[in-house]
């Protein structure tokens, strides 16, 4: 009995030591990582930056789908994560179902536009979804509107520049506010005496710019950032043993890491990752 109990405890400890894998084309997933760390403070994280394929908006859909599926075919056996979070709206709306079908024994958490909570909160009935062009054109996004926001007027706004602006801002500390103003301007609609009162941030990069958005917006709105909800969903899907709080890891335990699919990161990017508590291994790659 003692040996069986020790074996069970060992298996549970091993399960708890498995990392959470965060995946994005760039730095946007760091907004989700930040919230996940609050909920899972002793969990190890592996943050995958698919910078070799950034930006995803430049890809044809079939090629991008095949690329991401192939990438996860290598990532899952390498890192053996307890769960994978696709911290990217563009990737999630395109490939989340295909990932679940291809890897049925593994749990995936997707990131989709927060249209349901926006429809529940709006008072004016005017909601805008600020996203990448890829997310805007997906049928997945339109199905969410049809399901949850039939009584609202939902404006889909595709931005070609905001994700790259967020990358530059987080690395260099500067962003052109006139460009931010121009990119968000289509979100603001006045209709029959009512105004847009909610803007859904449907790209995980965008919360990094939300203070600039507030500053340049023509009037105040509620900006919905789904990062916390995504982190809570990830925690809820972990198995019972995986949810258990693992013991504080001893010195020398594996650190949280950021892995770049190009196998390299410049100085500013390394510094950014270190600021989020992530180590960038030398010559890291998938």
Identified catalytic residue from 16, 88, 152, 187 = 88
> Could you confirm whether 152 is annotated as catalytic?
no
d(CA 179, CA 231) in angstroms, rounded, equals 30
Would you list the DSSP string of 125-177? SEEEEEE-HHHHH-HHHHHHHHHH-TTSEEEEEE-SSHHHHHHHHHHHS---H
Q: In what order do the strands lie in the sheet with 198-202?
A: 153-158, 126-131, 198-202, 222-224
**How far apart, in whole angstroms, are the C-alpha atoms of residue 19 and residue 254?**
10
d(CA 116, CA 93): 15
Q: Which residues lie below 8 Å from residue 98, measured CB to CB, with a gap of 6+?
A: 65, 69
Q: Which member of 16, 152, 187, 203 is catalytic? A: 203
How, if at all, do strands 194-195 and 190-191 pair? antiparallel
Distances (CA, A) of 278 to 27, 33, 60, 274: 12, 10, 31, 5
Residue 16 a catalytic site member = no
Which residues are catalytic, by number? 88, 203
């Amino acid at each position: 009995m003692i040996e069986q109990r020790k074996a069970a405890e060992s298996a549970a400890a091993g399960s708890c030591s498995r990392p959470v894998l965060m995946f994005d084309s760039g730095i946007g997933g760091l907004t989700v990582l930040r919230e996940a760390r609050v909920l899972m403070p002793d969990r190890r994280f592996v943050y995958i930056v698919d910078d070799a394929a950034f930006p995803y908006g430049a890809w044809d859909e079939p090629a991008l789908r095949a690329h991401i599926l192939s990438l996860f075919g290598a990532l899952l056996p390498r890192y053996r994560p307890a769960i994978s979070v696709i911290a990217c709206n563009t990737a999630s709306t395109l490939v989340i179902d295909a990932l679940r079908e291809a890897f049925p024994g593994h749990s995936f958490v997707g990131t989709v536009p927060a249209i349901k909570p926006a429809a529940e909160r709006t008072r004016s009935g005017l909601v805008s979804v600020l996203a990448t062009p890829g997310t805007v054109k997906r049928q997945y996004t339109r199905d969410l509107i049809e399901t949850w926001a039939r009584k609202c007027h939902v404006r889909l706004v595709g931005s070609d520049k905001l994700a790259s602006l967020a990358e530059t801002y987080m690395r260099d500390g500067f962003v052109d506010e006139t460009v931010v103003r121009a990119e968000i301007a289509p979100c603001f609609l006045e209709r029959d005496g009512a105004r847009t009162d909610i803007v859904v941030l449907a790209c995980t990069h965008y919360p990094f710019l939300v203070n600039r958005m507030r500053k340049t917006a023509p009037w105040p709105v509620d900006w919905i950032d789904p990062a916390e909800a995504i982190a809570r969903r990830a925690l809820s899907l972990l198995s019972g043993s995986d949810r258990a709080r693992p013991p504080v890891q001893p010195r020398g335990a594996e650190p949280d890491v950021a892995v770049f699919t190009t196998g390299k990161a410049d100085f500013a990017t390394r510094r950014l990752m270190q600021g989020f508590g992530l180590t960038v291994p030398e010559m890291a790659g998938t």
